[in-house]
Chain A
């Protein structure tokens, strides 16, 4: 009988999991459907000579422990830009610039300066509590012994140790809509708009939706400011793949897993789309939970209630990706040339973000979407021909389940987004060499993200910690023996962090059961 462990998908979590398992002496085979490793953290060519990070484009919370333990620096991982500033574009004047800790410039209301510093300081303290859970398997809610109860007790203690004021704030705010928190904290629209984006990006939530404070905290569990690696996000994945291969992992590209094979309640291997069957002692799925169970395993192998929970798991993506090849650097209104390479936001107020969200609730796209822009070719000229640039933009809201479908409306949506960009960067259109729009539907077909959801499932309290992805699957192990999950659908969730993969590897090595 084989001792091989198969990892489904060479996304960053799959690669992290593979590397740790191989370092522990296991035989590991990673099967990736696409022609390159990385899943949603890839750099790819979208027009001849122009490369972009195809999905995720900024690195927030990549686990420093993974960076250290897998010696990623020796495998080619370097920052092109380490502390990316946020530049909230202003349609009528100077933008607001902050570094996640302090406002650098562009404040409309002086009282916001201290308020912002204090607010971010508080949010970092609260986020630190969440971050402490990231490296761990979530607490069990039922337990057979006090040993099992300890993680939950520890979480309660850590919460108490925040001190009375912070614990109160955490409990008060954790389910709150970001909009309400912004209203009680700040005066300036530009600032509120920028912070509202951080609370909703990648979700089907608006700033007035509950749980958006949680999303904001989740974003800041990483770092107060994102970074950009040399070679784009794909370089992170390439360095992980290199580290995994060095540890003995075999990676097969273009090997699409069509089914995870189950016999007598136990995973026995996989069948590829080509029909090839590969046996394994353990299968670890980096695919999102819905894809894993509805398509690869089959709900009939699960208990009926668990199947229902998976079926109802919320994972409709609303974020599209626009890539633009440019023959010259665009000029954004009021933005100093030195700032064009930072993180540019189009979200001039929290109300703007809220109004952008409204159509998404009813299956329509925003006519005035929020846009997060990165021009990675400024820090990393290798991505475009000399003097040329690539612009990578996350455009929200573009719901996966668009009324009437995306095919008929993608051109209109793209034109709409380009018009918005033109408004903030007059003359933008004249620089365009090529464009690529990836709707959530495209993200699903090209990257296997169910519903086109970047985080493999909405990050809200009902799908958080032990409850992520759904109750009963919160500990990486599944009811199918020898089948584990390791993707962003698991705790601690989305963002290129690698922690789900690292935690899953630990559970696999311990032979954990659900």
Chain B
């Protein structure tokens, strides 16, 4: 039963874990994710990040937009929606996907959970109900927004598996990456998927909001000896840039938000060619992407190792002849690789792996602005990709 819709009275929404995140938020720093109030940081960004990379950390992902797709045409609908072949995502599996508009420009990215045969959950950064209702014309499917009906935590880091074992999730170590499994949690059913946004070993936990607070408490109790800490958005952002993951609204503009045609990006232009499958049934954007494939892309997403120690935030990217060829979309000092790294979008044909680019970085020292032009190396892959991310059984350390 849904509660009466009183949401319009609220200026801000709170996640099902709010009582716990408030208690944990020693800094009292908050921002909005969609309509929800979530923590920037709980006690110290660096220490939260350190916990994430060395023990484990918990991030509240409840605000993530979630839709449930069911009905006889659910698979056909999902396949027409996204660029990858959803038939290959078997029940009990999760897949990363992007979906495009008719120009082949990315509307959003997200994960598809094949919950049970023909029942899908689509998680996304942006609101998608309108898009999904457009896409469902001609299909016998039901699309329901279930963002508020599911509470979710992301538990990430080297001791995440050990923590879940301590929580009593027997056999969790045998769960393969992008797999999911359900466990009993008191009266409730707890769905655990081996997924995340940090590039490390990690899990996402999905539960009825009524049991959210109990889950938080049990998790922190189980993880006490495994160094569990709450994780805010700032620390997560460092991790996701290290992992080379793109974010909607930051590294690409959702196509349905764009006014200017050259501001959007195709999957090819976001280094997501592996997600585009022309051999599967028709999907929105297919024609445009086929044309792009034969014509060539306009842009390329590159992962950069930036010389020096200054984060190249919002920097212009230059070629060897000092012409502007692109901009940095995400940049951070990476504690793991001890390097300044960045994600950038550059015009073709620039940005081939191994070729040099330059970033123009502005930085302030005691209220004085300085400018530096530093060389960048185009990396072949993410800066941070530990083997344990993919190993099964997952390490317990």
Of A262, A300, A472, which one neighbours B76 at CB under 8 angstroms?
A300
Cβ of B298 under 8 Å from chain A: no
Contacts of B282 in A (CB 8 A): 262, 265, 300-302
- Expressed in whole angstroms, the minimum distance between the Cβ of B69 and any Cβ of chain A is 14
Assembly CA distance A14 to B80 (angstroms): 31
A101 contacts which chain B residues (CB < 8 A)? none
Q: With A300-B76, A300-B139, A303-B102 as known contacts, state yes or no: A308 contacts B286, CB within 8 Å.
A: no
- What are 20 A-to-B residue pairs whose CB atoms are below 8 Å? A265-B282, A298-B138, A299-B138, A300-B138, A300-B139, A300-B281, A301-B282, A303-B285, A303-B286, A304-B101, A304-B102, A304-B135, A305-B101, A305-B102, A305-B284, A306-B102, A307-B137, A307-B138, A308-B137, A472-B102
Instruction: Kindly state whether residue A160 has any CB partner on chain B within 8 Å.
Output: no
Contact across chains for B134 and A307 when beta carbons are under 8 A apart: yes
Q: Please, which residue of chain A has its CB at the minimum distance from the CB of B76? A: A300
CB distance from B282 to the nearest CB of A (A): 5
| Residue in chain B with minimal CB distance to A481 | B287
- 1/0 contact trace for B125-151 toward A, CB 8 Å? 000000100110111000000000000
| Shortest distance between the CB of A268 and any CB in chain B (Å) | 14
Contact between A308 and B134, CB atoms less than 8 A apart: yes
The yes or no answer to A380 lying at the interface (CB within 8 A) is no
Q: Mark A282-305, 1 if CB is under 8 A from B, else 0.
A: 000000000000100011111111
B284/A304 in contact, CB under 8 A: yes
> Which residues on the B side are within 8 Å of A307 (C-beta)?
134-135, 137-138
- Bound complex: CA of A479 vs CA of B102, how far in Å? 10
CA distance A299 to B76 in the complex (A): 12
Residues of chain A within 8 A of B76, CB atoms compared: 300
Inter-chain contact A265/B80, CB cutoff 8 Å: no
> Given the known A-B contacts A300-B282, A305-B101, A305-B102, are A265 and B287 also in contact in the complex, defined by CB atoms under 8 Å?
yes
Tell me if A311 is interfacial: C-beta within 8 Å of chain B: yes
Docked CA distance A298–B137 (Å) = 10
The docked-state distance in angstroms from the alpha carbon of A140 to that of B195 is: 46
In the complex, what's the smallest C-beta–C-beta distance from A293 to chain B, in angstroms? 9
A420-453 contact mask (Cβ, 8 Å, vs B): 1 or 0: 0000000000000000000000000000000000
A residues less than 8 Å from B287 (CB atoms): 265, 303, 479
Minimum CB–CB distance from B134 to chain A (whole Å) comes to: 5
Contacts of A304 in B (CB 8 A): 80-81, 101-102, 131, 134-135, 137, 284
Count: A-B pairs, CB below 8 Å? 48
B285 and chain A: residue at smallest CB distance: A303
A161 CB, min distance to chain B CBs, angstroms: 32
Residue of A nearest to B135 (CB): A304
Determine which residue in A265, A300, A301 has the highest number of CB atoms from chain B within 10 A of its CB, and name it. A300
**Interface hits, B262-299 → A, CB 8 Å:** 281-282, 284-287, 290
Tell me the minimal C-beta distance from A315 to chain B in angstroms. Answer: 16
In the complex, what distance in Å separates the CA atom of A75 from the CA atom of B358? Answer: 75
Q: Indicate with 1 or 0, residue by residue over B42-82, a CB within 8 angstroms of chain A CB atoms.
A: 00000000000000000000000000000000001000110
B139 nearest CB neighbor, chain A only: A300
Of the listed residues A301, A303, A304, A306, the one surrounded by the most CB atoms of chain B closer than 10 A to its CB is A304
Could you tell me the distance between the alpha carbons of A262 and B80 in the complex, rounded to whole angstroms?
Answer: 14
What CA separation (Å) do A307 and B131 show in the bound complex? 12
A303: chain B residues within 8 A (beta carbon): 101-102, 284-287
Residue of A nearest to B104 (CB): A303
Most central of B138, B284, B286 by chain A CB within 10 Å: B138
- Complex Cα spacing A301 to B138, Å: 10
Q: Which of B80-105 contact A (CB under 8 A)?
A: 80-81, 101-102
Measured CB to CB, the nearest residue on chain A to B81 is A304
Give complex CA distance A301, B80 in Å.
8
Report chain B residues within 8 Å CB of A311. Answer: 137
A299 and B102 form a contact (CB under 8 A):
no
Residues of B within 8 A of A262 (CB): 282
Known: A304-B80, A304-B102, A306-B102. A299 touches B285 (CB 8 A): no
Q: How far is the CB of B71 from chain A (nearest CB, A)?
A: 13
A199 and B287 CA atoms in complex are apart in Å by 40
Query: A294 — which chain B residues lie within 8 A by C-beta?
Result: 138
- Which chain A residues in 441-486 approach chain B with CB under 8 Å? 472, 479
Among residues of A, the one whose C-beta sits closest to the C-beta of B290 is: A265
Chain B nearest CB from A291 CB (Å) reads: 13
- Give the distance to chain A from B299, nearest Cβ to Cβ, in Å: 19
**Shortest CB–CB separation between residue A289 and chain B, in angstroms?**
14
Extra contacts, 15 of them, besides A294-B138, A303-B101 (Cβ < 8 A), are: A265-B282, A298-B138, A299-B139, A300-B80, A302-B282, A304-B101, A304-B134, A304-B135, A305-B134, A305-B284, A307-B134, A307-B135, A308-B134, A311-B137, A479-B287
Q: Give the residue among B80, B81, B137 with the most A Cβ atoms within 10 A.
A: B137
Q: How far is the CB of A408 from chain B (nearest CB, A)?
A: 29
Nearest residue in A to B132 (C-beta to C-beta)? A304
